[in-house]
């Protein structure tokens, strides 16, 4: 698994934008079997320990920090392993059932490690050699035997049960395991994220409004409330040399349309440098913003000048969205850390001849998922907003895509909401938006109706690749609902 495996970053010149470095997910690993077998079948434990070493090596090769607490043989050693895993502060604990063991060995790990648990049972080969196997050799294939037992006890204990069954070198089984590791990336990023919220709610967008306690209470993340003056002071300190350097960077990243005004371009570059300092000073992983302003005053100009810098930050793995969309920045962070990018978008129009939904957004964009060099276009007006300046225009890479939104229900609970489609070629508006034509293989009007009924809200993240398994697993590890259209 690679966190950037799905993104084609050819649109971004190499070495120009340094990616955000985050804490890797912490994976706890423990293997086990019933100790009563060891004196009865002397060759069994060495065989199981060899399988355990193979599993450990596979996990060590993944993009994660692995804490391997070894092999357990009874409830007492299970309790000791649980304490070690609790101290490791894991994002996911993986229990390898190498042969039969009792649920009493696994339950303390699930209860005390304070992390979600994945049960894996991987027999040595595709099948047994029935004619030549004795009882000891059969027991090496008996890891599936306790899976229903553990599932029953987890349900009775109120613990969510997750499992992957297969054989040791079965790549399809390891792909299923890797989906859970991808989910651990999401849990690690969201659990430790610092979300910036700057300005105020876009007037009237009731769906965007979110209780600021909800994210810390649900995920453990932090919401930093910022003011546009926090940005203004930093923008005031940007030098002309820094502005010129940022304009040079933008010329390498973007194709500049003839509509780009030099004064607006320079202002966007100045705000971009100040925005980088804001993100660094507050240690932000995401930022959502909006300011209405009036008559061209400084805060209105700052809000209008965000798009260049916000897009550069988003391309580096720090999602920045307009319209105060805190929940969508969380969705973009989730799609980003699994290597699927994720561009801020909404529904723009339907095409009933081609059966596509046109979706995208004005403003900040994820340049890493652009199908070609992103265009910087000058706009004399931002529709529905005050101010003017430069905006980003592109089409997301053609091929499979997965939408991910963060919904909120009446009781305040959050959910991941997803839908898979395909970006297809065709005519697009050239108005400074990130528009894509998405084919959901059904009537576009029917898709809109079902999508809107989920509680997804106005915006979501458009990510590349077929990622439903990853996002479903991430919702499981985060303890929230998952809905698929």
| Ranges under pLDDT 50 in the chain | 1-6, 8-11
Final residue before a domain boundary, out of 152, 170, 190: 190
Asked whether residue 17 is domain-assigned, the answer is: no
Q: Which domain CATH number covers 469?
A: 3.20.14
Residue numbers of the domain that contains 50: 23-190
Secondary structure of the chain in HEC code, one letter for each residue = CCCCCCCCHHHCCCCCCCCCCCCCCEEEEEEECCCCHHHHCCCHHHHHHHHHHHHHHHHHCCCCEEEEEEEECCHHHHHHHHHHHHHCCCCEEEEEECCCCCHHHHHHHHHHCCCCEEEEEEECCCCCCCCCCCHHHHHCCHHHCCHHHHHHHHHHHCCCCCEEEEECCCHHHHHHHHHHHHHHHHHHHHHCCEEEEEECCCCCCCCCCCCCCHHHHHHCCEEEEECHHHHHHHHHCCCHHHHHHHHHHHHHHCEECCCCCHHHHHHHHHHHHHHHHHHHHHCCCEEEEECCCCCCCHHHHHHHCCHHHHHHHHHCCCCEECCCCHHHHHHHHHHHHCCCCCEEEEEEEEECCCCEEEEECECCCCHHHECCCCEEEEECCCCCCCCCEEEEECCECCEEEEEEEEEECCCCCEEEEEEEEEECCCCCCCCCECCEEEECCCCHHHHHHHHHCCCCCCCEEEEECCCHHHHHHHHHHHCCEEEEC
Final residue before a domain boundary, out of 171, 190, 209: 190
- The confidence score (pLDDT) of residue 164 equals 96
- The confidence score (pLDDT) of residue 67 equals 94
Q: Which domain CATH number covers 27?
A: 3.40.50.10940
Asked whether residue 99 is domain-assigned, the answer is: yes
- The confidence score (pLDDT) of residue 8 equals 46
pTM of the prediction? 0.89
- The confidence score (pLDDT) of residue 185 equals 95
Domain count, the chain: 2
- The confidence score (pLDDT) of residue 444 equals 93
For 362-388, the pLDDT digits (tens) are 767 677 777 677 778 776 555 555 555
In this structure, are 332 and 470 located in the same domain? yes
Asked whether residue 11 is domain-assigned, the answer is: no
């Amino acid at each position: 698994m690679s966190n950037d495996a799905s993104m084609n970053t050819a649109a971004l010149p190499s070495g120009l934008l340094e990616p955000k470095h985050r804490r890797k997910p912490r994976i706890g690993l423990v293997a086990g079997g019933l100790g009563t077998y060891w004196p009865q079948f002397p060759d069994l434990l060495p065989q199981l320990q060899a399988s355990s070493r193979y599993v450990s090596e596979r996990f060590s090769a993944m993009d994660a920090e692995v804490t391997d607490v070894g092999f357990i043989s009874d409830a007492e050693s299970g309790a000791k392993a649980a304490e070690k895993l609790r101290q490791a502060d894991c994002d996911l604990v993986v229990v390898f059932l190498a042969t039969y063991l009792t649920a009493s060995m696994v339950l303390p790990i699930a209860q005390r490690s304070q992390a979600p648990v994945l049960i894996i049972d991987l027999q040595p080969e595709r099948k047994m050699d029935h004619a030549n196997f004795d009882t000891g050799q059969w027991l090496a294939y008996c890891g599936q035997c306790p899976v229903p037992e553990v599932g029953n006890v987890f349900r009775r204990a109120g613990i969510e049960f997750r499992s992957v069954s297969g054989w040791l070198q079965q790549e399809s089984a390891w792909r299923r395991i890797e989906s859970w590791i991808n989910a651990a990336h999401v849990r690690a990023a969201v659990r430790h994220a610092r979300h910036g919220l700057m300005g105020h709610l876009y007037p009237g967008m009731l769906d965007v409004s979110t209780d600021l306690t909800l994210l810390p209470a649900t995920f453990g993340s932090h919401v930093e409330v910022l003011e546009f003056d926090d940005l203004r002071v930093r923008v005031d300190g940007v030098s002309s040399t820094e502005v010129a350097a940022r304009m040079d960077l933008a010329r390498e990243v973007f194709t500049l349309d003839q509509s780009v005004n030099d004064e607006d371009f320079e202002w966007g570059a100045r705000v971009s440098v100040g925005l980088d300092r804001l993100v660094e000073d507050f240690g932000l992983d995401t930022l959502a913003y909006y300011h209405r302003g009036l008559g061209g005053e400084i805060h209105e100009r700052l809000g209008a000048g965000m798009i260049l810098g916000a897009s550069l930050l988003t391309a580096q793995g720090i999602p920045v969205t307009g319209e105060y969309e805190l929940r969508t920045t969380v969705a973009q962070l989730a799609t980003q850390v699994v290597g699927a990018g994720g561009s801020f978008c909404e529904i723009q129009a339907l095409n009933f001849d081609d059966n596509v939904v046109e979706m995208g957004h004005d403003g900040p964009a994820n340049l890493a998922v652009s199908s070609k060099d992103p265009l910087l276009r000058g706009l004399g007006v931002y529709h529905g907003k005050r101010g003017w300046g430069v905006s980003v225009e592109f089409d997301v890479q053609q091929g499979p895509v997965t939408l991910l939104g963060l919904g909120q229900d009446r009781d305040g609970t959050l959910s991941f909401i997803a839908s898979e489609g395909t970006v297809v070629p065709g005519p697009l508006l050239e108005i400074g938006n990130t528009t894509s034509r998405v084919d959901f293989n059904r009537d576009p009007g029917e898709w809109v109706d079902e999508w809107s009924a989920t509680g997804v809200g106005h915006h979501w993240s458009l990510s590349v690749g077929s990622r439903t398994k990853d996002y479903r697993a991430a919702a499981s590890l985060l303890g929230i609902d998952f809905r698929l259209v």
